Amino acid sequence: MKVIDHINGSDKTIFSFEILPPLKGQNIQNIYNNIDPLMDFNPPFVNVTYHREEVVYKRLESGLLEQKVIKKRPGTVGICAALQHKYKIDAVPHILCGGFNQEDTENALIDLDFLGIENVLALRGDSVKGEVYFQAEANGHKYAHELVGQVNAMNKGIYLDSELQNNTPTNFSIGVAGYPEKHFEAPSINNDIAHLKKKVDAGADYIVTQLFFDNSKYFEYVEKCRDAGITVPIIPGIKPIATKKHLSILPHRFHVDLPDNLVREVLNCKDNKEVRQVGVEWAIEQCKELKAAKVPVLHFYSMGKVDNIQKIAKEIF
């Protein structure tokens, strides 16, 4: 079933979460162990991230550097198929512009369609290490709205080869990313929202936000999006802070601010066990307010151990 139908068919806030494929060499059982405790809260769908190749340099005995391209977390498509089969819930694979040309994208979407996957979250992806700015593949998409356009065209039976006849249309519900604190490359929030609207106009059914710790930023963002004519559901993304290191990792990686109160509370913790508890309590307060505001879904970023998400979900759902 499509995410948008889950949303439209529910009068309550839905619980959902995102998982990362395990590191290469690990077993899918790791994923199941993480997901099992969250199944009690009836998530109708689960997102599975996609990770691009990384370029690493290895120093050879000669002193020269050898460039190696590695993929640390393969398996998004396989994990999605396994989750749908094992838990009978909908899996939402993330698909990227980065690393794919349009032909690769078409073939990946055909595979997903054959597997009975009816949802995708369409993203541009970030630049790979060593590139300052994002570089599209030759004949690839430069922006996510172009990728949305390709998925939407396939939903109408339009494939790349215009000579093809009697094409079967795919049936994907398309989600896209939104940034309450602005995407870091955008010159202004209004400019970023204008580009977000392009994704919706190209066929996106809903938006999932970047994580945030201050609900007022989400509420202001939704208001600005509505003013810009974006009417689709905007799903808030929640990440409970879990370690002192997050104070620097989260702003660096996700370009978000942390409220002073939260920073102070984390700094006052004597160890990460206490930080984890602070993170749970902060997220519970965020979720209570968001749920009272009737957000369609509370979407959690899990990134590994899920005991904290389980505690939050117990209080909220």
- Range in contact with ligand FAD (rule: CB under 6 A) among 65-73, 107-115, 141-149, 225-233: 141-149
Look up residue 297 and give its two tokens: 């879904």
Query: For residues 47 and 275, which CB has a smaller minimum distance to ligand FAD in the complex?
Result: 47
Instruction: Please count the CA atoms within 13 angstroms of the CA of 180 that sit on its side-chain side.
Output: 24
Site string for ligand FAD, 258-287 (x = CB under 6 A): ------------------------------
Tell me: does residue 239 bind ligand FAD (CB under 6 A): no
Tell me: does residue 217 bind ligand FAD (CB under 6 A): no
| Spatial contact of 178 and 210, defined as CB atoms under 8 Å apart | yes
Sign of the CA dihedral with 146 first, then 151, 152, and 157 last: positive
- Min dist. Cβ of residue 57 to ligand FAD (A): 21
Find the binder of ligand FAD among 7, 80, 154, 208 (CB under 6 A). Answer: 208
- Min dist. Cβ of residue 304 to ligand FAD (A): 15
Query: For residues 49 and 308, which CB has a smaller minimum distance to ligand FAD in the complex?
Result: 49
Query: For residues 182 and 265, which CB has a smaller minimum distance to ligand FAD in the complex?
Result: 182
Q: Dihedrals φ, ψ of 108, to 5°?
A: -65, -40
Sign of the CA dihedral with 242 first, then 245, 248, and 249 last: negative
Q: Are strands 14-19 and 65-70 parallel, antiparallel or unpaired?
A: unpaired
**Residues with Cβ < 8 Å from 264, sequence gap 6 or more?**
none
Q: Which of residues 71-130 bind ligand FAD (CB under 6 A)?
A: 94, 96, 123-126
How far is 165 from 157, CA to CA, in rounded Å?
9
Q: Which of residues 22-51 bind ligand FAD (CB under 6 A)?
A: 49-50
- Min dist. Cβ of residue 52 to ligand FAD (A): 6
| Spatial contact of 209 and 178, defined as CB atoms under 8 Å apart | yes
Q: Greatest CA separation found in the chain? A: 66
How far is 228 from 220, CA to CA, in rounded Å?
12
Q: Which of residues 176-195 bind ligand FAD (CB under 6 A)?
A: 177, 183, 185-186, 192, 195
- Min dist. Cβ of residue 183 to ligand FAD (A): 4
Tell me: does residue 225 bind ligand FAD (CB under 6 A): no
**Residues with Cβ < 8 Å from 237, sequence gap 6 or more?**
18, 208, 209, 210, 211, 212, 299, 300, 301
How far is 121 from 4, CA to CA, in rounded Å?
12
- Min dist. Cβ of residue 91 to ligand FAD (A): 13
Find the binder of ligand FAD among 120, 144, 222, 298 (CB under 6 A). Answer: 144
What residues make contact with ligand FAD under the rule CB under 6 A?
49-50, 52, 94, 96, 123-126, 143-145, 177, 183, 185-186, 192, 195, 198-199, 208, 210, 237
